[in-house]
Amino acid sequence: MNPMPSHKTKPQVIAITGGIGSGKSTVRKILEAENLSCIDLDDISRQIVAPGTPGLVKISEVFGQNILSNGVLNRAELKRRIFSSPSDKQRLEAIMHPMIRQATLEKLNCYSEKDLVVVEIPLLTEIGRPDYVDWVVVCDCAESTQIARVSARDNMSQEMIQAIMANQATRAQRLEIADYVLNTELTMDELSKAVKALIQSLKNQPAINR
């Protein structure tokens, strides 16, 4: 087995998190516009289960071949399975989380300790704070705003959105683990100014995990 990549000289890492429809992607785009390097764990998770990958092979072994459609992960079927079965959810997490962590560390290993890198971790509250994270920034808004955003973005029913939210950490739980909170109900101009001010502040602080 290959050793886990070392991160003794890892970059300074800001974790962005929040529930579905909380504005994480909007905040990440603001950060990217400020020339900060960003890693999206949703992108990593999609890469891990691409056709022909060890991740997809393992998932098909655990969940059966009906989880595939022409060699591609049937995401709708997998989502149905994990929403209806806590044990299936745990089995999926046992496969995905170690692979996501290793891929993330490999990416972070490409940066120096002088770099400031943003990692978007949607389920940070649920999985626990990774040891490579220096600061946790929670994107926060009212639950009604989450529902309205996702409904407009994904044309998803309110019932489905609420089911997804029920499977995520609560707003209170996310706020409890936050080092900083961004109110994403601000106007775009106000949010952009708040994000830039936060980044400037963090650049002037010593990283926590040194």
Q: Is the pLDDT of residue 66 over 70?
A: yes
Is 25 known as a binding-site position?
Answer: yes
- pLDDT (tens digit, 9 = 90+) per residue, 83-98? 888 899 899 999 999 9
The count of residues in the chain is 210
Q: Which has the higher per-residue pLDDT, 160 or 21?
A: 21
- pLDDT (tens digit, 9 = 90+) per residue, 100-126? 999 999 999 999 988 999 999 999 999
The two three-digit tokens of residue 174, written as one number: 């996310």
Q: Percent of the chain scored above 90 by pLDDT? A: 77
- Homologous superfamily of domain range 12-203: P-loop containing nucleotide triphosphate hydrolases (3.40.50.300)
Is 26 known as a binding-site position?
Answer: yes
Q: In the prediction, which pLDDT does 9 show?
A: 61
DSSP state of 42: H
Considering the chain, what is the average pLDDT of its residues?
90
Q: Which has the higher per-residue pLDDT, 2 or 61?
A: 61
Backbone φ and ψ of 181, nearest 5°:
-125, 130
Q: Is the pLDDT of residue 14 over 90?
A: yes
Q: In the prediction, which pLDDT does 148 show?
A: 95
Instruction: Report, as an integer, the average pLDDT of 28-51.
Output: 94
- pLDDT (tens digit, 9 = 90+) per residue, 176-204? 999 999 999 999 999 999 999 999 999 87
Q: Give, for 44, the enclosing helix (H) or strand (E).
A: helix 41-48
Q: In the prediction, which pLDDT does 2 show?
A: 41
Is 157 known as a binding-site position?
Answer: no
> Residues 6 or more apart from 149 whose CB is under 8 A from it?
21, 23
- In this prediction the pTM is 0.87
